[in-house]
Chains A and B, each alone.
Chain A
Amino acid sequence: MSNKKNIFELIQESQIWKSVFRSGIPKTRRQKMMTVLNSVFLHLHPVRLPRHAVKLKFTWCMGGLTFFLFLVLTISGILLMFYYRPTAEYAYNDIIDMAEQVPLGIMREIHRWGAHAMVITTWLHMFRVFMTGSYKPPREFNWGVGVILLVLTLLLSFTGYLLPWDQLAIWAITVGGNMARATPFLGSEGPGAALLALGDINFVHMGADARFGLIGGRFVGEGALLRFYVLHCIGLPFIVMILMAVHFWRVRKDGGISGPT
């Protein structure tokens, strides 16, 4: 009887289980460490944390919440992509349909409110990092990465704002896009734009400047909708994911979450 193994032991001794989980059930310190190091997902995270690092009072959990919201937005966003068509003809109605005709149409609201929340948690995370002095050496590089991630979060928010294709969206992007006109040298109304000219021919004008590259036309139209859609769904998340990996990795490599001094 004592030789008989129960079902859990049989599973854990099978080749399939062992091929996936190389270090067995983590019981000893060494096994625990190996479990973290052997997983591509877990290894970004430190093997062990100082006690203060898990105190809600210290971190507010804001970085983690931001990452959680990013995952929520990624999943709900992928679900929305199954219905949304980024053309002037369909975009607005597809979003209405999604809310009214599709089961679990609340996905769109989750995506929108999650986006608002992520902007807020990103700011609060930055505020916390500032107040605890966690931007100081040796973490100054990671602060820089974080600032870029904040800008990318705002850009994701901005590009997503156009997609409902209602009056609010179109005019908000019109106003926002006009800022690009003032880009130095590359905006048609920015300082130095007139310098890039040969005699009477201006190289930087309404039809070829930073704003045009952004919205793909002289006004916010179908070109802008498609460009913003691609940036929102592929371009920006691609960069964000790479930088997030760097960000988390550096938290660990710079000595873990900063402690009270």
Chain B
Amino acid sequence: MSNQKLEEKKIGSAPKPSIGSELNEPKIERRSFISWITFAWITFAAALGGLLTMPLRLFFPNVLFEPPQSFKIGVPSDYEIDVVDLRWQDKFGTWIIRNTEGIYALSTVCTHLGCAPSWLENENKFKCPCHGSGFRKTGIHFEGPAPRPLERYRIVLGDDGQILVDKSRRYQQEKGQWSDPESFLKI
């Protein structure tokens, strides 16, 4: 037995299986074995974690069968002054209101808890059936638990002269966003 072999015996390496195989055997020392196994476990845990997280993506489809977020609603002359127009209420959740200065698009979602208020022509207000919030024609809240006015959507004139409403851009009065030129279509 050479000195090297004796040294290996002392630190407790695995017993030699047979003569002649020692040349081809990769040598993994005790200490490096620990770091190798740590590395292996971390890799395994990361792969498993990734694999188990992937199904979450399933809950977010690439195509939605909902009405589009932006849509054209005709030309300004289609809308009468001082009338709350309900024709896009059910499909797009939007009220179109024209006053003497221009047109704005109000969200039909109550700012309290997200129910759908309805327009009461006789009482000249939007009234939410869930908890009784009331809003003026402008969208400003004045009764019930709603903490802030209804939101307005982006409304601009397209190249073809039609009005374009974009629900992905919202303007909140309490943040001073109603002064944004795209929150109100001047006519």
Q: Are B115 and A175 in contact (CB under 8 A)?
A: yes
Minimal beta-carbon separation of A76 from chain B (angstroms): 29
Q: Are B60 and A175 in contact (CB under 8 A)?
A: no
A175-B113, A178-B114 known; A208 and B66 CB under 8 Å? no
A212-B60, A213-B59, A216-B59 known; A171 and B66 CB under 8 Å? no
The contact string, 1 if C-beta is below 8 Å from chain B, for chain A 207-233, is: 110001100111101000000000000
Q: Are A171 and B130 in contact (CB under 8 A)?
A: yes
A174 at the interface (CB under 8 A from B): yes
CA distance A175 to B66 in the complex (A): 20
The count of A-to-B residue pairs whose CB atoms sit within 8 angstroms is 29
B60 cross-chain contacts in A, Cβ below 8 A: 208, 212-213
B61 cross-chain contacts in A, Cβ below 8 A: 216
The contact string, 1 if C-beta is below 8 Å from chain A, for chain B 42-80, is: 000000000000001001110010100000000000000
Q: Are B66 and A178 in contact (CB under 8 A)?
A: no
The contact string, 1 if C-beta is below 8 Å from chain A, for chain B 105-129, is: 0000000011110000000000000
B59 cross-chain contacts in A, Cβ below 8 A: 213, 216
A213-B59, A216-B59 known; A175 and B114 CB under 8 Å? yes
A175-B130, A213-B60 known; A221 and B66 CB under 8 Å? yes
Q: Are B64 and A171 in contact (CB under 8 A)?
A: no
A174-B114, A175-B113 known; A217 and B66 CB under 8 Å? yes
CA distance A211 to B131 in the complex (A): 22
Minimal beta-carbon separation of A222 from chain B (angstroms): 8
Minimal beta-carbon separation of B33 from chain A (angstroms): 35
Residue tally, chain A, CB below 8 Å to B? 15
CA distance A212 to B56 in the complex (A): 12
Minimal beta-carbon separation of B72 from chain A (angstroms): 20
* Residue of B59, B64, B114, B168 contacting most chain A CB atoms (<10 Å): B114
CA distance A76 to B184 in the complex (A): 55
Q: Which A residues from 178 to 210 make CB contacts under 8 A with B?
A: 178, 206-208
B115 cross-chain contacts in A, Cβ below 8 A: 171, 174-175
The contact string, 1 if C-beta is below 8 Å from chain B, for chain A 5-45, is: 00000000000000000000000000000000000000000
Minimal beta-carbon separation of A167 from chain B (angstroms): 9
B114 cross-chain contacts in A, Cβ below 8 A: 174-175, 177-178
Minimal beta-carbon separation of A206 from chain B (angstroms): 8
CA distance A52 to B149 in the complex (A): 60
Complex: chain B residue closest to A205, CB-CB: B168
Q: Are B130 and A217 in contact (CB under 8 A)?
A: no
B66 cross-chain contacts in A, Cβ below 8 A: 217-219, 221
Minimal beta-carbon separation of B93 from chain A (angstroms): 8
CA distance A213 to B59 in the complex (A): 5
CA distance A218 to B59 in the complex (A): 13
Q: Are B113 and A217 in contact (CB under 8 A)?
A: no
CA distance A213 to B60 in the complex (A): 6
Minimal beta-carbon separation of B54 from chain A (angstroms): 14
Minimal beta-carbon separation of B40 from chain A (angstroms): 29
Complex: chain A residue closest to B113, CB-CB: A175
Complex: chain B residue closest to A179, CB-CB: B113
Minimal beta-carbon separation of A30 from chain B (angstroms): 45
A177 cross-chain contacts in B, Cβ below 8 A: 114
CA distance A219 to B94 in the complex (A): 14
B168 cross-chain contacts in A, Cβ below 8 A: 206
Q: Which B residues from 1 to 16 make CB contacts under 8 A with A?
A: none
Minimal beta-carbon separation of B153 from chain A (angstroms): 12
Complex: chain A residue closest to B58, CB-CB: A213
Minimal beta-carbon separation of B145 from chain A (angstroms): 12
CA distance A78 to B97 in the complex (A): 50
Extra inter-chain contacts (6) besides given A177-B114, A217-B66, CB under 8 Å: A171-B116, A175-B113, A206-B168, A213-B60, A216-B59, A219-B66
6 closest A-B pairs by beta carbon, nearest first, are A175-B113, A178-B114, A213-B59, A174-B114, A171-B115, A208-B60
Q: List 6 A-B contacts (CB under 8 A).
A: A175-B115, A178-B114, A216-B59, A216-B61, A219-B66, A221-B66
